[in-house]
Amino acid sequence: MDDLLADFVAETREMLEASAGEIVAWEANPADSARLDTIFRFVHTVKGNCGFFDLPRLATLSHAAEDALSDCRSGKRQPDQRLVTAVLAIIDRIVVMVDAIDAGEDLPNGGDEALIAALEADGVQNADATAAANTFSQSNTAEDKGPAQNTKRADGVGGQRSIRLPVDLLDRVMSGVSDMVLARNDLAHRLRQAGTQPMIDGPFERLTAILSDVRDAITRMRMQRIETLFNAFPRLVRDLSNDLGKQVMIDLEGGDVELDREMIETIRDPLTHIIRNSIDHGIEPPSERLSLGKPEIGFLSITARQSGNMILVVVSDDGRGLCEDNIADKAVATGLITKAQRAAMNRDAILQLVFQPGFSTAETVSNISGRGVGLDVVRQNLGRVGGTISVKSTKGVGSQFTLQIPLTLSIIAGLTVETSGQRFAIPQSYIDEIIHSSSKALDFTRVGETALVTFRGKRVPCLHLHKVLGLPPSTVAESEHTMVMLRLANGDLFALAVDGIHSHGDIVVKPLAPAVMKAGVYAGSTLLDDGQPVLLLDVTNIASEQKITSDLSSSVLQSEGDFAEAQLGQAGRAMLFKDFEGRRCAVRLELVQRIETIAMDAVDRTGTQMRAILDGQILPLAGLPKDPIELQKLRLLHLNDGTMQLLYAVRAVEEAIDLSGDLKPVRDEQSVEAVILVGDKATGEKTVRLLDGHDLFARFGEAPESAAKPVCRIPDGDWARTVLAPLVVSAGYDVASDSDAVEDVAIYFEDQAEPSGDPGTASTTPVVRLRDAPEASGDADTVYKYDREGLIKALRKVRRAGGTAT
């Protein structure tokens, strides 16, 4: 609120300065309606602001002046010298009060009634009121001219001083400092080439630090706390709730996050629209909420936080959530998608339909929603500044919209690429992945004039940058190109082929001439460290101009042919690998949580069930031969069926494949679900064993409770807590606490006595003893306390033997 009050003071003074000449001119010619309008707007604005900040005296004074001026504007009253004097007296009193507010002082004592009375029309005011107005106006003018008043003002101001500047002036200063930074980078490059020069290096480093501080300071001058945007939302929520007969509580968090002023204005309308949707469509009426067992009052949360050079704003509610069936049915009914496409879409793809132009599930049009104009515009506006929006929803629980926007538009993270001998910059926020054309993960095809590339099982359009920009053909062979995978705000993915990658880092974006911007492929320009100017590519416009953006999200299938292909792949996908007998096998991809690599020392062959330590857990292991193998590292498929985890050892992981519908079931081999055909006639078709995930978990899986970590008790003391405990935990054990009655293994020092148990009862807890010296003395059965591998082996050994380490 302090920042808002400071803005009120600054705005009031600014308006007064702008209208001061108009007031004097109106005094000379009270019939001048244009100048009357200027003064009226001033007192009207002050009146509105005073109501917000709970300043009743200021509000009363400005309201009285507004009424008198309103009568003059409407012709009910003719302005005269006496009225001008009274209005000027009130404006002078407003100035004094604003100065007091700025200085943190109490407002001047009364006299407001006399000033207001002086505004009355002829025959109503009295001589005392007129005299009071004249006296106050003259005394205030005299004080303004005298040095004493200036001294008092200077002494009284205890807060930070502020000044209002045009944004374009800040932009010019920022541009100048950025040029200095680029000049510094060029100088640094030349100094590195010239070698070490002690006489120059020291001053140069100081110059670098000063420039960095100045650049950061100017960047912060453009920043504003996002709470200036948040402060308007409680009133918005209250008014909408009352209009709809609902009760909604709003929670705002992260108001201290700072954002470029231009970005705050960019997200104002999108956030307002999402809030209106949440209250209108999401949060249920009180009676419905009570019947569902929810609190009568709905909850709306808006949080902001910084993540790198991006700001995340999350709007969530506890309402009814988005119903994918209703969304899909509405999309089919309006012709947005076909029934065949509907059948092939997953839940995430259906939720993306809410961002399509003209889409709305509202049955009636109101002044709040239902016009079909909203979320599509929200996404487009965010996309123009490099932002994105995503949605998550659970039916009956609520919805969550996440806006991801750049911290500032003046400095962004960028990637410098080259094509046809020229360099260009790409905003890093669009980059999904970078991969070389020679990678086996890429498969290039062409449909008519459209180049396509298949990447991770997904076929996406492929553009060559030199063709997009109309440059001469590249001299680099296509097999040597680098593919930059770009993802748009709507989720569409496409590949951009370039000759090479140069560097990445923060770049200062500068505007281009309008003639260059009309090309539709550039978003600005920047200078590299070596001083070379490069153009910043407008990724969104390039995709639009090349007609590779889909009307629906990229996850929605666009044609009946795609739908038929999807039906073929409904059998799912599988991960292809070779086992330790050299056979090609596969396991369904939905069971594969991750592909892991562990050291062979992490494998425990205790008993008939092998296990391995992974991320502090001891998990069952299958697929490994019983006989020892000469390997330092072991590749694993980390399988998870939702309740149990299982590690499956493989010799080599190959690739993910689509399962055709032609699966040949196998009934006479345990753990094999079916045989599938992989490859084609050109490369040779071969059969692959598809493992039965259900049988694997039935045979090797361990329920969570049976796979609990063993408990290890360690000695007391700082060394054991800071050094020994983390090692024990990393080995897959829990450290025993005082509440643990029984431990699975205990660690003691060489000369430490075991705690006494119940009389007459021998302890059966396996024990590992530690020694202080690197070398053992005599026949002592101990482990050196800093021998990590030795300790881990000893822990495994006592588990197998059930006694002390030997």
The yes-or-no verdict on residue 561 having pLDDT over 50 is no
What is the spatial distance between Cα 558 and Cα 543, in angstroms, rounded to a whole number? 17
Cα distance from N-terminal residue to C-terminal residue, the chain: 71
**DSSP assignment letter at 510:** B
Superfamily (CATH H level) for 572-700? CheA-289, Domain 4 (2.40.50.180)
The alpha carbons of the chain give a radius of gyration, in whole angstroms, of 37
**Greater model confidence, 751 or 319:** 319
Q: Judge whether 416-541 and 572-700 match in fold.
A: yes
User: pLDDT for 323-341, tens place per residue?
Assistant: 888 888 888 888 888 887 8
What is the spatial distance between Cα 320 and Cα 318, in angstroms, rounded to a whole number? 7
User: pLDDT for 354-385, tens place per residue?
Assistant: 888 767 665 554 445 543 346 777 887 787 77
pLDDT given at position 701? 81
Q: Are 745 and 799 in contact (CB under 8 A)?
A: yes
The yes-or-no verdict on residue 760 having pLDDT over 60 is no
Helix (H, G, I), strand (E, B) or coil at 22: helix
pLDDT given at position 552? 42
pLDDT given at position 90? 82
User: pLDDT for 44-90, tens place per residue?
Assistant: 777 777 766 777 888 888 888 888 888 888 888 877 777 777 887 88
What is the spatial distance between Cα 191 and Cα 590, in angstroms, rounded to a whole number? 55
Fold of 225-406: Heat Shock Protein 90 (3.30.565)
Annotated domain spans of the chain = 2-156, 167-221, 225-406, 416-541, 572-700, 711-801
What is the spatial distance between Cα 430 and Cα 489, in angstroms, rounded to a whole number? 8
**Percent of the chain whose pLDDT exceeds 90:** 5
Query: Angle between the 261-277 and 233-244 helix axes, to the nearest 10 degrees?
Result: 20
What's the chain's average pLDDT? 76
Most confident of 98-112, 185-199, 461-475, 528-542: 461-475
The yes-or-no verdict on residue 566 having pLDDT over 50 is no
Nearest to 121 by CA among 70, 155, 170: 70
Q: Are 226 and 265 in contact (CB under 8 A)?
A: no
pLDDT given at position 659? 77
Element (H, E) at 533: strand 533-537
**Going by C-beta distance under 8 Å and a sequence separation of 6 or more, which residues neighbour residue 183?**
531
CATH 1.20.120.160 describes domain 2-156: yes
pLDDT given at position 183? 78
| Cα-based torsion angle of the residue sequence 735, 736, 742, 743 in order, rounded to the nearest 10 degrees | 30
User: pLDDT for 256-304, tens place per residue?
Assistant: 888 887 788 888 888 888 898 889 888 999 999 999 888 889 999 999 9
Q: How many CB atoms lie within 10 A of CB 728?
A: 22
Fold of 416-541: OB fold (Dihydrolipoamide Acetyltransferase, E2P) (2.40.50)
Q: Which residue type sits at 365?
A: V
Report, as an integer, the average pLDDT of 539-567: 55
User: pLDDT for 173-183, tens place per residue?
Assistant: 877 877 787 77
Q: How many CB atoms lie within 10 A of CB 586?
A: 22
What is the spatial distance between Cα 353 and Cα 725, in angstroms, rounded to a whole number? 52
What is the spatial distance between Cα 724 and Cα 716, in angstroms, rounded to a whole number? 10
pLDDT-derived band at 315 (thresholds 50, 70, 90) equals: very high
Q: Which CATH class is domain 711-801?
A: alpha beta
Neighbouring-strand partners of residue 401: 315, 391
Q: Are 278 and 327 in contact (CB under 8 A)?
A: no
**Greater model confidence, 650 or 589:** 650
Helix (H, G, I), strand (E, B) or coil at 691: strand
pTM: 0.46
Neighbouring-strand partners of residue 746: 713, 767
Q: Are 689 and 584 in contact (CB under 8 A)?
A: yes
Write the DSSP assignment of 373-441 as a string of letters.
Answer: -SHHHHHHHHHHTT-EEEEEEETTTEEEEEEEEES-SSEEEEEEEEETTEEEEEEGGGEEEEEETT-TT
pLDDT given at position 401? 92
What is the spatial distance between Cα 411 and Cα 509, in angstroms, rounded to a whole number? 6
